[in-house]
A and B are shown apart, each in its own frame.
Chain A
Amino acid sequence: MSSRPSAKPAAPAPSSKVKTLTIDDRLVSAREDESILDAARDNGIQIPTLCNLDGLTPVGACRLCMVEVKGSSRLFASCVTMVGEGMEVVTDSERLQKYRKTIVELLFSERNHVCAVCVSNGHCELQNLAQTLGVTHLTVPYRNPKLPVDASHERFVNDHNRCVLCQRCVRVCGEVEGAHTWDINGRGIGARVITDLNQPWGSSETCTGCGKCVQVCPTGALTEKGKSVREMSKRTRFLPYLTMMREDRSE
């Protein structure tokens, strides 16, 4: 993660063309700079996502939004795949369900997600995904890693046990707040979100304490200090408005 996340493209250029494609046997049209995910959502077709958040640059990190495109045997992350003329997209199939369930299972097994005693219980996107996809148990063993909790910040807590590495915190801090306090350190299974140069959050000099990272975090990883179990519900709706207002001002 050496490069800073780039800002989301502004309003469509007037020259953008319209493409027609089929999604789940429905003929739809979309701007050529729209992703399959956006085109599907515009037409009321829901594709599960986790790392994606309206108002942030899509990164295709979680792979939950993968879809099948006729003519290719590989799967495409719909949040970062642009629509194409004549494209035939399938958003739900036995194969896709199996992959999505496996992804959620792996997320649960990788760290210590104990919903029953989590501050975000009942308000968690990972928990909702598991329920929606019917993940009732894991077919892979839990790794039960020993991970620290960074409670050094005056108002917020970072619990690595509940992080899914969606990078929403990294993006919102870089793209919207402009502080770029968050980043990812390490690779693969050893990857961790860090603040500044991997120092305690409380000693970060760049953190403005705005709390956007906490609000966009899909799980109980980033939370407000002092919230008891079930009490931490997040507000993410502010983001598109914030982006829109800033675009208006820059025009």
Chain B
Amino acid sequence: MGKTITIDPVTRIEGHSKITLKLDDAGHVSDARFHVTQFRGFEKFCEGRPFYEMPALMARICGICPVSHLVASAKACDAILAVKIPETAAMLRQVLNLAQMIQSHALSYFYLSSPDLLLGFDSDPAKRNIFGVLEKNPQDARDGVRLRRFGQQVIETLADKRIHPAWLVPGGVDQALTADKRDLILSWLPECYEIIGRTLERTKRSLEGFREEIRTFANFPSLFMGLTTADDKLEMTDGVLRIVDANGKVVVDNADPSTYRELIGEAVEPDSYLKSPYYKPSGYPGGMVRVGPLARMNVIDGIDTPRANEEWAEFRALERGAVLSSFYYHYARLIEILFGLEKMDQLLHNPGILSKQVRAHARPNNLEGIGVSEAPRGTLIHHYRIDENGLIVWANLIIATGFNNLAINRGVLQAARHYVSSQEIQEGMLNRIEAVVRSFDPCLSCSTHAVGTMPLVVELRDADGRLLDRKAR
């Protein structure tokens, strides 16, 4: 008789989800599904609001990556105003977005995943959290806290508020940067360079010990998508879209992000509130596209900061063509933190960064606007339509985690098939399945309160849905 194992909720991720594993009569995994169980409704309830309220309203989608939504939303509003924002405003937005990326990656790597990576997937679940890391590897835990704090402090210094700042506005930013604030941010950089340097070294040394996970954590061919600069370098805030295949061959290059609808379709599954975007020309579900740090490393031809570029070259040497295992998302995240620090350093040393010209003023000149940026988890798209009075009549958001939905589902199945081979539930094997999800760092809503507090409930049900066994931790 077939059975279903439910992992509900999935822990140490941002948001609420569950996993269902279906076992056949022989006890082998026949199917696995990743369900996102929360419903937000932002696209609908922003209808009727003035478009210029969108950045701050949309930032409320998330408490981890509000800046990503601010950036994409402000860019969509720039398109509605039909303005080119001042160069300084564009640079300041970049700094803010990089700060956000650094704090979010630090959260994912240190707070959420380092318990698995440092303490082991099979370690005591009661201690497999950031506090356990603090006990056993205090330096790593402190490093994580410091890096995350740095990102948050930069956001606060620039925008007055760590979470949900209202500094990004349609047309630019609402306040120029002062020399004092710039110097303060620059003074924090040396310590962060040291932290990321030693974390990268330790992580690279540890990869050998995760060969099985690397082989089985969503390791399969797919397309990869991300923004790049015009010369195909790593880009987080502006740029053009690029898509490469599993061999690293460029499929789409220099695509104007506002043409996303020609490239991206959106499918809806009955068992999840998360949409499943896909590469349109390949159809659904064949057009699986991964986004985020791993994808960005795969789509670019290099990084325009020296140390991150060296790390990128080493990373890409892991495999011929694209790097396929989602386990490497963790590694890619660290390279991006290094890039973020170096890029921020460059931007803050640009004499133009202190210019007072930081906002373009205009009335709406277009009835439609599309804003695309790279969130920590991947490509983020905000698309609005307004009426002639400037009120939103329609909105479409494609969130990075949505792009990864297909790959997460398939990755969960791959890991489940590898690790779950009997009807007996072992905690460590289920943790590995959760860890596949964690490697993508999905942001299903906006909270981190799950660290070490949310219970994992596993239920065993027969084919009729009857509860056979239940274990909670």
Contact mask for chain A residues 155-169; partner B; CB cutoff 8 A; 1 contact, 0 none: 001000000000000
Given A148-B48, A151-B50, the answer on whether A228 and B174 have CB atoms closer than 8 Å is yes
A193 at the interface (CB under 8 A from B): no
List, in ascending order, chain A residues with CB within 8 A of B391's CB.
149, 151
B166: chain A residues at CB < 8 Å are 121, 228-231
- Pick from A119, A152, A226, A231: contact of B389, CB below 8 A: A152
CA distance A225 to B52 in the complex (A): 9
Which of B48, B57, B174, B361 is close to A117, meaning CB atoms less than 8 Å apart?
A: B57
- Report yes or no: A228 in contact with B55, Cβ–Cβ below 8 A: yes
Indicate if the CB atoms of B169 and A149 lie closer than 8 Å: no
Q: Is the CB of A149 within 8 A of B48?
A: yes
Contact mask for chain A residues 221-237; partner B; CB cutoff 8 A; 1 contact, 0 none: 00001111111000000
A116 lies within 8 A of chain B by Cβ? yes
Please report the C-alpha to C-alpha distance between residue A229 and residue B168 in the assembled complex, in whole angstroms.
Answer: 10
A225–B53 Cα gap in the complex (Å)? Answer: 10
Q: Does B330 contact A (CB under 8 A)?
A: no
Q: How far is the CA of A206 from the CA of B460 in the complex (A)?
A: 71
Q: How far is the CA of A232 from the CA of B166 in the complex (A)?
A: 12
**How many residues of B sit at the interface, in one of the four size bands?**
10 to 19
Interface status of B56 (Cβ within 8 A of chain A): yes
Count of residues in A whose CB is under 8 Å from the partner chain: 17
Q: Using an 8 Å CB-CB cutoff, how does the interface string of B30-67 with A read, 1 for contact, 0 for none?
A: 00000000000000000011101101110010000000
B48 lies within 8 A of A228 (CB) = no
Identify which of residues 190-232 in chain A touch chain B, using a CB-to-CB cut-off of 8 Å: 202, 225-231
Q: Which B residue sits closest to A229, measured CB to CB?
A: B56
How near does chain B come to A39, taking the closest CB pair, in angstroms? 40
Q: Does B363 contact A (CB under 8 A)?
A: yes
CB distance from B79 to the nearest CB of A (A): 15
Given A119-B53, A149-B48, A230-B166: A225 touches B60 (CB 8 Å cut-off): no
- Docked-complex contact B53 and A117, CB < 8 angstroms: yes
Q: A149-B391, A231-B169 are in contact. Are A226 and B363 (CB under 8 A)?
A: yes
Nearest-Cβ distance from residue B27 to partner chain A, whole angstroms: 50
Min distance, Cβ A226 to any Cβ of chain B, angstroms: 5
Least CB distance, A117 to chain B, in whole angstroms: 5
Which residues of chain B are within 8 angstroms of A230 by Cβ–Cβ distance?
Answer: 56, 166
The answer for the CA separation of A192 and B68 in the assembled complex, in Å, is 38
Q: Bound state CA distance, A226 and B52, in angstroms?
A: 6
Please pick, from B49, B55, B56, B363, the residue contacting A149 in the complex, using a CB distance under 8 A.
B49
Contact assessment for A231 and B164 in the assembled complex, using a CB-CB cutoff below 8 Å: no
- Tell me the total A-B contact number using a CB cutoff of 8 A: 48
Of all chain B residues, which has the CB nearest A117? B57
B169 contacts which chain A residues (CB < 8 A)? 228, 231
B210 to chain A, nearest CB (A): 42
Q: Mark A81-120, 1 if CB is under 8 A from B, else 0.
A: 0000000000000000000000000000000000011010
Residues of A contacting B57 in the complex (Cβ-Cβ under 8 angstroms): 117, 229
Query: Known interface pairs A116-B164, A117-B60. Does A227 touch B389 (Cβ–Cβ under 8 Å)?
Result: no
**Chain A residues with CB under 8 A of B361:** 226
Partner of B174, one of A119, A157, A231: A231
A117 and B56 contact, CB distance less than 8 A: yes
Q: Which residues on the B side are within 8 Å of A151 (C-beta)?
A: 50, 389-391
Asked if B411 is at the interface (CB within 8 A of a chain A CB), the reply is no
B354 CB to closest chain A CB, in angstroms?
A: 22
A228 x B389 contact (CB < 8 A): no
Task: Tell me, yes or no, whether B9 is within 8 Å of chain A by CB.
Answer: no
Report the nearest A residue to B58, measured CB to CB: A117
Is B390 a contact of A225 with CB atoms below 8 Å? yes
> What is the CB-to-nearest-CB distance from A146 to chain B, in angstroms, rounded to a whole number?
9
By a CB distance below 8 angstroms, the chain B residues around A116 are: 56, 60, 164
CA gap between A227 and B359 in the complex, in Å: 12
- Given A116-B164, A149-B48: A228 touches B390 (CB 8 Å cut-off): no
Q: Which residues of B contact A228 (CB under 8 A)?
A: 52-53, 55-56, 166, 169-170, 174
Q: Which residues of A contact B53 (CB under 8 A)?
A: 117, 119, 228-229
**Cα–Cα distance between A116 and B164 once the two chains are bound (Å):** 9
CB distance from B209 to the nearest CB of A (A): 45
Q: How far is the CB of B457 from chain A (nearest CB, A)?
A: 31
Q: Compute how far the CA of A202 lies from the CA of B56 in the bound complex, rounded to whole angstroms.
A: 26
A157 to B60, CA, bound (A): 23
Task: Please indicate the chain B residues that have their CB under 8 angstroms from the CB of A152 in the complex.
Answer: 389
Q: Which residue of B has the minimal Cβ distance to A152?
A: B389
Output the least CB separation between B431 and chain A (Å). Answer: 36
Per the bound structure, the CA–CA distance linking A228 and B166 in Å amounts to 8
Query: Given the complex of chains A and B, what is the CA–CA distance between A119 and B56 in angstroms?
Result: 9
Which residues of chain A (49-76) have a CB below 8 Å from chain B?
none
Instruction: Chain A residues near B170: list those with CB within 8 A.
Output: 226, 228
Shortest CB-to-CB span from A128 to chain B, Å, is 18
Nearest-Cβ distance from residue B243 to partner chain A, whole angstroms? 34
State the CA gap A151–B48 with chains docked (Å).
10
A229–B161 Cα distance when bound, in Å, is 13
Q: Give 1 or 0 for each of B152-172: 1 = CB within 8 Å of chain A CB.
A: 000000000000101001100
Closest beta carbon of chain A to B401's beta carbon, Å: 23
List B contacts of A226 (CB < 8 A). 52, 170, 361, 363
- In the complex, A149 Cα to B52 Cα: how many Å? 13
Considering only CB atoms, which chain B residue lies closest to A202 in the complex? B389
Identify which of A119, A202, A228 gathers the most chain B CB atoms within 10 Å of its CB. A228
Since A116-B56, A151-B391, A157-B50 are in contact, a sample of 4 more A-B pairs with Cβ atoms closer than 8 Å, ordered by chain A residue number, is A116-B60, A149-B50, A152-B389, A230-B56
Question: Interface residues, chain A, CB within 8 Å of chain B?
Answer: 116-117, 119, 121, 148-149, 151-152, 157, 202, 225-231
Listed by A's residue number, 22 A-B pairs whose Cβ atoms lie within 8 Å are A116-B60, A116-B164, A117-B56, A117-B60, A121-B166, A149-B48, A149-B50, A151-B50, A151-B391, A225-B50, A225-B363, A226-B170, A226-B361, A228-B53, A228-B55, A228-B169, A229-B53, A229-B56, A229-B57, A230-B56, A230-B166, A231-B174
The 3 A-B pairs with the shortest beta carbon distances in the complex, nearest first, are A229-B56, A151-B389, A228-B169
